[in-house]
Structure 1
Amino acid sequence: MPKYAAIKGITKLRGSDLRGLSKVVHQLTLDITEVTEGVHQAVYTTLGMPHGPSSRKCRGLTGSIYRLIYGTTNVVGSGVDKLFAYNETRIKSIDSRDAYDPQRLATLSFLNGIIGDRFVADGNPLALPMTIFYGKQPLDATDVSAVVLPTNKVLLMVHGLCSSPLHWEGLAQQQSHSEALVSAHGYTPLHLHYNSGLHVSQNGQALAVQLEQVVHQWPVTIDDLTFIGHSMGGLVIRSALYYAEKLGLSWHKSVKHAFFLGTPHKGAPLERAGNTLSAMLERVPYTVAFSKLTRLRSAGVTDLRYGYIRDDDWQSSCRFTAPVERPQVIALPTYIQTYAVGSIIQKAHNYIADHLVGDGLVPLTSALGENANSSRALRFTQTETLQNIHHMELLNHPLVTRQLLSWLDTSCA
């Protein structure tokens, strides 16, 4: 990804994006004020002073001040929204900017990964719709006529949390993974862009449905549908395959290969640590209010705790609490050649490198689907461990490209 692309993307935002951002600032101001009042009242409670309408609300003059802040914030927020509505004509002129500018999408992708589920729930225009891209233009799942010289081999790249198709791009004079596979094996490249703040299972189901339409509309019969997924993207691929079979769809029969790069199949300790911190904050009166901030993280983020790919994995309990049992292991389809790439950023293998640090975000054992209990391990066709490659470098590192080509050369020989 070009340096500072997300920052540069701010200048590419459209009028509707700015309106959405104003809603985010409004809500965050209310949330932070609520946290501050909660801490304030916690201190008062230890001094024996009564609380207001609830245990986290102040009373008297202090409560009045907080109510004034809430009221002022709402008035300002409403005023800004009305200002956008009043200047709707001018905003539309700003909206004439390219909606699919890569840098704009990179900026929105970051925001969606953090609180994208709230964007959807609030009807915020910042919420990204799932889109399949051919080149830099969106592909209508019901009309694929925009594809130039479609082949019978299709490659779909699926990014991870807070990312976009832009993140797959390699450095100057360096082939990206997709470019290398297209050149060597004649694939037609597609890129998936999705709201990574939603549950993985929600994105998996949406992808399953879209692929059914794309494969059905494709001008020639697809004999080889191949996936490359990075991080959360790998979980979305597994979820889509699971729901394709469950919903009786047919596209999954065309899948030949699935490559998983740094995918947290067994979860990520960073999210588990975040969940533990949230639980600790709730146990202490002075910090319980701060637990509200930890609960702002998206559904997609909390799915990374144990690598959830089905609705059943998260629907039975609060997603901010750690379940006693891990989710049911969903085996990899046996009719697909599956490959996993993991990495360690330390110089040698040891317990910390393999089980905790890994590539800096995903442990090696999780990326390779390993488990001490063999019944809970994933059985890939092949796996590969790389060294000194960070999690985000897996997106475009030449050693990864070389490994993908090696596997494909052997598979297609």
Structure 2
Amino acid sequence: MRPDEMRDTGVLAGTTLGEIADVVHGVHKAAAERMFELLGAAGSPIRVLHDGVAAIAYGSTKLGVRYGPPAAALVASAFADPAADSAHDTARGRLALGAVNGVIGDRVAEEAASLAPQLRIRLHGGRLRRVPANLAADADESGLATGRLVIFAHGLCETDLCWSFAAGKRWGDRSATYGSMLRDDDGWTPLYLNFNTGLRISHNARELAELLEDLVSQWPVEVTEIALVGHSLGGLIARSAAHQADALGYAWRHKLRHIVGLATPHLGAPLERFVNRATHRLARLPETRPLAGFLNQRSVGIKDLRYGAVLEQDWLGFDLDELTDRCSPATMLEGVAYSVASATLSREPAGVFATDLLVQHVSAHGIGKPRSIPFPEDRMFHLGGRKHHFDLLADRMVYDQLRSWLAGADGSGSAAGEPKRRRRALRQRDRDRQRDRDRDVR
């Protein structure tokens, strides 16, 4: 971890612990006030003593937790190696920062900028790149650049590493992903996106649209086909990026052929709606109002999931915490094949268990009232029977369906004749790079 990241970690820890102390103090204060109101004048002497002790106790606690971690981090950073690896460039660091930024990423970007992931993209087994020209150079040097690009966008609190979830168990190769298999089987060039999921979906999507415009113009070979594949929130990013690229007249939009959403809450996520309603109820009582205020500090990225807000017009000028669904369906673009997949605990996609624990089947398929999205029925896929949200990241049936969708109804685009020797070499290179990452984690 770099010195600036250590300092910002201390600042962020101090701010968060200070806010938790504020919540505890607020709840205590409200409960005490209600009790002393019941006691009336008889409780006045006790109230004076209580308030004095509480002020000293909570005041000292807040000072300690708010300024202790930043001070400790500042001292530690003074002895840190300035040339140390960034937390963003190690597996453990990236996973930790992905989780934190999913919850409060908008605040991290403002208050502890060094800990906020920048939108970057990489080749399979390659380094994350912020500058498209550097990524294009990586592709040119590797000799793996093709005219068919498939971009993978991860979900909330995830990172670009999520696509190898359970890969060792599912594929027998810890470096394998849908992307690497599409590369080996059909000649796609897989690219993996990493970004701050705590920011607005429309903001991340705009950055992606701009990055792809530059990348396509600098790619070593002519780009003929682009596919966007998103897991959970990543599917909303894909839809938003395509819509914004179309509105801005970006050239890459005309190369876009596929948008695939895996467990994507196109009509919103029930957990975020539950928390939103809960905060409204908690805010009604003085004793629970501090907790409501604390919960309402969750990231705008999470709040966008309430109803599936993909465009700026879905949230601009509206109350962040209102209960009304104001999202537009976002016009489906001509010439783009939209495909969706869901997972459910139940075998059939009906009933109370028609969910993957985080996203409902109907939301993943755009089926709702009064708003719905007319995804083609022949491009809907359901994985049922004790399947959860993350099973869609690595599953043989999902991969087969994904490959079929990207190949087209006639199976065009298949690279079945690709030499087996080249594919074996690619897989061996992926395994070697995975061993290097494993050493980094240890």
Equivalents in 2 of 1:159, 1:295: separation in Å?
Answer: 24
Q: Which residue of 2 aligns with 1:82?
A: 74
CA pair 353-96 structure 1, distance change in 2 beyond 3 A: closer
Matched residue, 2:204:
203
Contact 2:262–2:340 under 8 Å retained in 1? yes
Q: Give distance in 2, aligned partners of 1:124 and 1:308.
A: 25
Aligned to 1:72, what secondary structure does the other structure show? helix
Give a deviation string over 1:119-140, Cα, whole Å, max 9, x none: 1111432110000111331233
Please give the secondary structure, in 2, of the residue aligned with 1:136. coil
CA distance in 1, matches of 2:2, 2:398: 36
Q: Give 3-state SS (helix, strand or coil) of 2:192's partner.
A: strand
TM-score normalized by the length of structure 2: 0.82
Letter in 2 for 1:350: A
Aligned equivalents of 2:261, 2:220: Cα separation in 1: 28
Matches of 2:344 and 2:6, distance apart in 1: 40
Answer yes or no: is the 8 Å Cα contact 1:331–1:378 preserved in 2.
Answer: no
Partners of 1:14 and 1:99 within 8 A in 2:
no
1:338 alignment partner in structure 2:
338
8 Å CA contact 1:16–1:91 kept in 2: the answer is no
**Aligned positions of 1:56-135 closer than 5 A:** 60-84=52-76, 86-87=78-79, 90-93=80-83, 95-96=84-85, 99-134=88-123, 135=125
Confirm whether residue 379 of structure 1 aligns to residue 385 of structure 2: no
- Work out which of the residue numbers 29, 32, 38 in structure 2 matches 1:41: 29
CA distance in 2, matches of 1:78, 1:409: 53
Which of structures 1 and 2 has the bigger CA Rg?
2
Partner of 2:360: 363
- Change over 3 Å in CA distance of 1:257–1:362 after alignment to 2: same
Give the unaligned 5+ runs of structure 1: 1-12, 51-57
Structure 1 CA distance, aligned partners of 2:251 and 2:12? 40
Structure 1 residues 231-246: aligned runs within 5 Å: 231-246=232-247
**Is 2:227–2:406's contact at 8 Å kept on the other side of the alignment?**
no
Q: Which amino acid aligns with 1:408?
A: L
Contact kept, 8 Å, 1:153 with 1:222, in 2: the verdict is yes
Which residue is equivalent to 1:9? Answer: none
How many angstroms does 1:410 deviate by?
Answer: 3.8
Q: Which has the higher helix share?
A: 2
SS at match of 2:81: helix
Q: TM-score, normalised by structure 1?
A: 0.87
Give the CA deviation at 1:195: 0.4
Counterpart AA for 2:299: S
Identity of aligned residues (%): 27
> Of residues 14, 19, 23 in structure 2, which corresponds to 1:26?
14
- Structure 1 residue matching 2:403: 3-state secondary structure: helix
Name 2:138's counterpart in structure 1: 146
Which residue of 1 is the match for residue 283 of structure 2?
282
- Further displaced range: 136-145 or 304-313: 136-145
CA pair 336-21 structure 1, distance change in 2 beyond 3 A: same
* Secondary structure of 1:146's aligned partner: helix
Structure 2 distance, partners of 1:273, 1:96, is 40
The SS at the match of 2:266 is: coil
| Range with greater deviation from structure 2 (26-35 or 95-104) | 95-104
Tell me whether 1:171 sits opposite 2:177 in the alignment.
Answer: no
- Cα distance in 2 between the residues matched to 1:30 and 1:235: 34
Which range moves more in the overlay, 139-148 or 382-391?
Answer: 139-148
Question: Relative to structure 2, which stretch is displaced further, 31-40 or 345-354?
Answer: 345-354
Structural RMSD (CA): 2.2
The answer to whether the Cα contact below 8 Å between 2:3 and 2:78 also exists between their aligned partners in 1 is no
Q: CA 1:137/1:341 → structure 2, altered by over 3 Å: closer, same or farther?
A: same
Return closer, same or farther for 1:194/1:78 CA change in 2, 3 Å cut-off.
closer
| Shift in Å, 1:25 | 1.6
Higher mean C-alpha deviation, range 231-240 or range 128-137: 128-137
Which stretch of the first structure deviates more once superposed, 96-105 or 358-367?
96-105
Q: C-alpha offsets along residues 44-103 of structure 1, whole Å, 9 cap, x if unaligned?
A: 3212389xxxxxxx954422432333333344245224314533xx3314x246852233
Opposite residue 268 of structure 1, the aligned amino acid is: A
Count of matched residue positions in the alignment of Structure 1 and Structure 2:
386
The residue aligned with 1:293 is 294
Between stretches 390-399 and 130-139, larger displacement belongs to 130-139
